[in-house]
Amino acid sequence: MHTSELLRLLNIDSKAYVQERYFREALSEARKLVYNSTIQAENFLKFIRSKLESMLNELGNGRRPKRDRDSILAVLNKIDAFVERYTGLLDPLTPPVASQIRTGAVNIVDLGRLDEEMADVVVSHVLRSVLEARKKFYHSGGRAGLPFPLLMVLEEAHILAPRDRDTLSKYWIGRIAREGRKFGVGLCLVSQRPKALDSGALSQANNMIILRLVEPSDQRYVQQASELLSEDLLEQLSSLNVGEAVVIGPMVRVPALVKVDRFKGRRLGEDVDVLGEWSRACLKSFSSELDHLREGW
């Protein structure tokens, strides 16, 4: 995992320079020891913590200034919070991302258990790893790296690349949008809230498949990102039926109105059946009360 990704997970702010400096020092030594097999990868964070504790003991002896005490303690607290929050989700022995991708298959990274911060780090890590692996393949003449092209599909893209704040994923989405095609890395951004998506990422899209959009602000935001979306097409967006879409870009010779086949498989990510769950809970409670009454008789 890249240093910037660890800093994000540990919630070490980019302006907390002293905290970052001490963490980087401990991290650098830990990586060297893991590389030399002096410590096991699973003890990585434990070593960083012990290294920071030894730094505390060095305060005031001329090697480290006493004023850094609070910064070191803050990093230690953030490591403890990180372990409590993400234990069981990170495995230091996991092989590199690129080595686990299967060709000719849909490779899914399930982010359902993760909060937004962790999801941002995971997506950023995957995007960076794939782009670097493809670059390595080209620069090595095919002797190393990822030997086949990929299309990366990002659901809820407005969360990963929001227009109003910076994220790690947003940076790598922009990188792949600009240079990914040179190395065989495609990008598909999926969002139900286009106006919340970063305008830079949206404007890099060569093709667009636009489903029903009712909000005028959403419509105008999408139109600003594509010169191919005319006023006539824009007016049709609010009247599209379920499964209908406007397709624009090089993938079609002229803008097209299409009907997408209904998906007949298992659907995930739907709204919770609140009434159904209430009914089942009431029936279960009623059944339990009846059993209790029978036992009393």
Q: What is the pLDDT of residues 83-134, one digit of tens each?
A: 888 776 677 677 888 889 998 889 999 888 888 888 998 999 999 999 999 9
- Which amino acid appears at position 209 of this protein? I
- pTM to 2 decimal places: 0.76
Q: For residue 175, what pLDDT is reported?
A: 92
> 189-194: which pairs have CB atoms within 8 A and are 24 or more residues apart?
189/154, 189/157, 189/161, 190/153, 190/154, 190/155, 190/156, 190/157, 191/156, 191/157, 191/158, 192/158, 193/158, 193/218, 194/158, 194/218, 194/221, 194/222
pLDDT digits (tens, 9 = 90+) for 56-77: 888 866 677 788 889 999 999 9
C-alpha–C-alpha distance, residues 269 and 272, integer Å: 9
pLDDT digits (tens, 9 = 90+) for 227-264: 888 888 888 888 889 989 999 999 999 888 899 888 77
C-alpha–C-alpha distance, residues 130 and 146, integer Å: 8
Average pLDDT over residues 32-50: 82
Q: Are 98 and 130 in contact (CB under 8 A)?
A: yes
Write down the mean pLDDT value for the chain. Answer: 86
Residue 90, CB-side half-sphere exposure with 13 Å CA sphere? 21
- % pLDDT > 90, the chain: 30
Average pLDDT over residues 148-172: 92
Q: For residue 130, what pLDDT is reported?
A: 94
Average pLDDT over residues 6-28: 89
Kindly indicate the confidence band of residue 267, based on its pLDDT and cuts at 50, 70 and 90.
low
